Amino acid sequence: MSQIRNIVILTGAGVSAESGIDTFRTAGGLWERYKPEDVATPEAFARDPDLVLGFYDMRRAAIQEKQPNAAHLALGRLDAEWSGDLLIVTQNIDDLHERGGARRMLHMHGEHLNAWCTACDQRSPWTGPLIDRPACPRCGESALRPDVVWFGEMPYRMDAIYAALRAADLFVSIGTSGAVYPAAGFVRGARDLGVRTLELNLEPSQGSSWFHESRLGPATEIVPAWVEEILA
């Protein structure tokens, strides 16, 4: 692996599963209990804001009781020790990568622990509920929504992600089903750019055949093993 300098990592719900945070599409996942079109679209928020705010309030409270697992910690170690470029792009809206020590990262689907004011556009750190319509710390309007990307909205920081992919030697996808675009398309984009691609997942994802290599197993085992290997 000596020729690898620049790495882009994409993570999904599978990296947080062993911390006790629900995934979406696996058996018993969130999208079995809720319909995405009821809780994760701008139209749902316009139609039934209490349902949407309540759903995110519940999850915002839940993540604050969870702890980063060995996969988050291994990626934090990689960030600290890797001398080449690194970008960890997460689809997760929890903060477990940060608490696992990762710094060179971005949240393409937003963050539970931010509230976004639709009146003044300010984003504010937020740990409490939004359902009681608290005032925006900046403008005072009761117009806060979760700072998360809903279906039909544009993911964040796409320019930065594609710039990192263009400079990458290795693309690693961890714990994501490959069902949601544009993230699901990164592997093909990477291959078109001549980047080596590796999948680490519990089971083959929808885009598994696009990867040069797939390693299957729980994230808390296969991610630390891969980090150990690449740092060696």
Q: Which does 175 bind (CB under 5 to 8 A by kind): Zn ion, ligand OAD, none?
A: ligand OAD
Judged by CB under 6 A, the residue of 10, 89, 165, 219 near ligand OAD is: 219
Contacts of 155 (CB under 8 A, 6+ apart): 108, 109, 149, 182, 183
Residues annotated catalytic, as ranges: 109
Bond prior to 182 in cis (omega within 30° of 0): yes
Check if the beta carbon of residue 88 is closer than 8 Å to that of residue 97. Answer: yes
Residue in 8, 39, 87, 136 binding Zn ion, rule: CB under 5 A:
136
Residues 6+ apart with CB under 8 A from 7: 82, 84, 85, 86, 87, 168, 169, 170, 171, 172, 230
Taking CB under 6 A as the criterion, the residue among 177, 199, 210, 226 binding ligand OAD is 177
Our finding on whether 147 is near ligand OAD (CB under 6 A) is no
Interaction site with Zn ion (CB under 5 A): 117, 119-120, 122, 136, 138-139
Interaction site with ligand OAD (CB under 6 A): 12-14, 17-18, 23-26, 29, 36, 40, 91, 109, 149, 151, 175-177, 179-180, 201-203, 205, 218-219
